[in-house]
C-alpha cells in the first residue's frame, strides 16, 4: 500500500497546459507504464526546475514532451493534491497558441478531445478538477430563504441573478412551509430552465426527483447516506466542513462539494473560518470539484482557483439584495 505523505512534506510544483487547437479540442496525454497512475490521462506538462519561472518550465516541458513551441497564457486553476509517496501543486495554464505538430516524444499516447467529451476520459486525481474548471461554472448561487420576503420579491431576486449570468443555483428554504416551498420551487425551476441554468434543491430528495433536478445534501444528510442512490444524469452535491465529510462525499460519487467557511460570515457568526490555507490543505485529500464558501463574492473567484477551488459559492456575495 502506498505511503501517505506527511502534510508538511513540501509540495512539488508541477505545471500543466490546456492546449487547444483551431477546432476547440483539448490535448490529453496518457501516463506511460512504470509511472505513478499509469494508464490515466492528464494535461501535458511537468516539474518546475530550480531557477525557472512557471511559464518557462511549462514551455520547456511541452517542447521536450510534445515537440511544440507554446505560448503560455492565463492561469486556469492550481490544484494541491496528495499522490502516492508525494504531494504536488498542479499549476494549470491555458495554451491557446502553439507551433508544430504535437507528438508523444516520451512514448505517451495523445488524444485531441472535444471539450464536451473530456469527462469520458479517466483522469488523474489532480487533473479531474481541471476538467471541471473548463466545463463548469465558477459561481454557485445558494438562494437566501424567502421566509421574510414575499414570493414575488424572492422570485424577482432570482430573475435578477439569472439575468446577470448565474448558471448554477441551489434552491434553499429550510424555514419555509412545505406547501409554499413546493410552489416556489416549481416556479424557480421553470425560471432557471428558461435561462438554461442548472438547478439543485437543498435536502429534499423527493422534490428533486419530482422536478428532475439536482440534489444538494447538507453535511448531516451526507454523513447518513451510505450510497449515491440518486439518478445518473442529475447532479448530487454536498456541503462539507472537514476531511471526513469530503472523503465521504467523494466515496458516494458526489459530482461536487462546497467547503468552508473560508471567511467568517454574517449567517454563522462566531463559527471559526478555515482560511485559504486550511481550504487548500483539505482540498489535497480528494479529487472531486469543490466550491469555496464563506464571505466570498465574484471578486474571489481567482483567489479560490489559486487554492484549488472550482470557484465560489455564496448567498450574499451573489444575491446583492441580501444583507
| Residue 31, annotated as binding a ligand | yes
Q: Of the candidates 49, 40, 48, 320, which has an alpha carbon nearest to the alpha carbon of residue 164?
A: 320
Residue 234 has what DSSP assignment?
A: S
Hey, what's the cell of 140?
Answer: 454557485
| Residue 45, annotated as binding a ligand | yes
Give the 3-state secondary structure of residue 152: helix
Residue 59 CB partners (closer than 8 Å, separation 6+): 69, 70, 72
Q: What is the dihedral of CA 166, 171, 173, 178, to 10 degrees?
A: 140
Residue 150 CB partners (closer than 8 Å, separation 6+): none
| Residue 65, annotated as binding a ligand | yes
Q: What is the dihedral of CA 45, 51, 53, 55, to 10 degrees?
A: -40
d(CA 261, CA 267): 11
| Residue 44, annotated as binding a ligand | yes
Binding-site residue set: 31, 42-45, 65
Binding-site residue set for Mg(2+): 45, 65
Binding-site residue set for 8-oxo-dGTP: 31, 42-45
Amino acid at each position: 500500500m502506498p505511503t501517505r505523505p506527511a502534510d508538511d512534506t513540501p509540495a512539488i510544483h508541477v505545471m500543466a497546459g490546456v492546449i487547444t487547437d483551431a477546432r476547440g479540442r483539448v490535448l490529453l496525454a496518457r501516463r506511460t507504464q512504470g509511472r505513478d497512475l499509469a494508464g490515466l490521462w492528464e494535461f501535458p506538462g511537468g516539474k518546475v526546475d530550480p531557477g525557472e519561472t512557471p511559464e518557462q518550465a511549462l514551455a520547456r516541458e511541452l517542447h521536450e514532451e510534445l515537440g511544440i513551441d507554446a505560448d503560455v497564457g492565463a492561469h486556469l486553476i492550481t490544484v494541491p493534491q496528495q499522490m502516492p509517496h508525494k504531494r504536488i501543486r498542479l499549476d494549470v495554464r491555458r495554451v491557446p497558441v502553439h507551433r508544430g505538430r504535437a507528438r508523444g516524444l516520451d512514448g505517451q499516447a495523445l488524444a485531441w478531445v472535444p471539450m464536451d467529451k473530456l469527462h469520458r476520459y479517466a483522469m488523474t486525481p489532480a487533473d479531474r478538477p481541471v476538467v471541471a474548471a473548463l466545463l463548469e461554472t465558477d459561481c454557485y448561487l445558494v438562494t437566501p430563504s424567502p421566509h421574510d420576503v414575499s414570493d414575488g420579491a424572492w422570485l424577482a431576486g432570482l430573475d435578477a441573478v439569472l439575468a446577470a449570468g448565474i448558471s448554477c443555483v441551489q434552491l434553499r428554504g429550510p424555514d419555509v412551509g412545505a406547501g409554499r416551498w413546493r410552489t416556489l420551487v416549481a416556479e424557480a425551476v421553470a425560471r432557471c430552465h428558461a435561462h438554461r441554468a442548472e438547478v439543485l434543491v437543498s435536502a429534499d430528495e423527493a422534490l428533486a426527483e419530482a422536478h428532475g433536478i439536482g440534489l444538494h445534501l447538507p453535511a448531516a444528510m451526507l454523513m447518513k447516506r451510505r450510497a449515491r442512490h440518486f439518478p445518473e444524469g442529475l447532479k448530487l452535491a454536498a456541503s462539507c466542513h472537514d476531511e471526513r465529510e469530503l472523503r465521504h462525499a467523494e466515496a458516494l460519487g458526489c459530482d461536487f462539494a462546497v467547503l468552508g467557511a473560508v471567511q467568517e460570515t454574517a449567517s454563522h457568526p462566531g463559527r471559526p473560518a478555515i482560511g485559504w490555507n486550511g481550504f487548500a490543505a483539505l482540498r489535497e485529500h480528494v479529487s472531486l470539484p469543490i466550491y469555496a464558501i464563506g464571505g466570498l463574492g465574484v471578486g474571489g473567484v481567482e483567489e479560490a482557483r489559486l487554492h484549488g477551488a472550482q470557484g465560489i459559492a455564496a448567498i450574499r456575495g451573489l444575491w446583492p439584495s441580501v444583507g
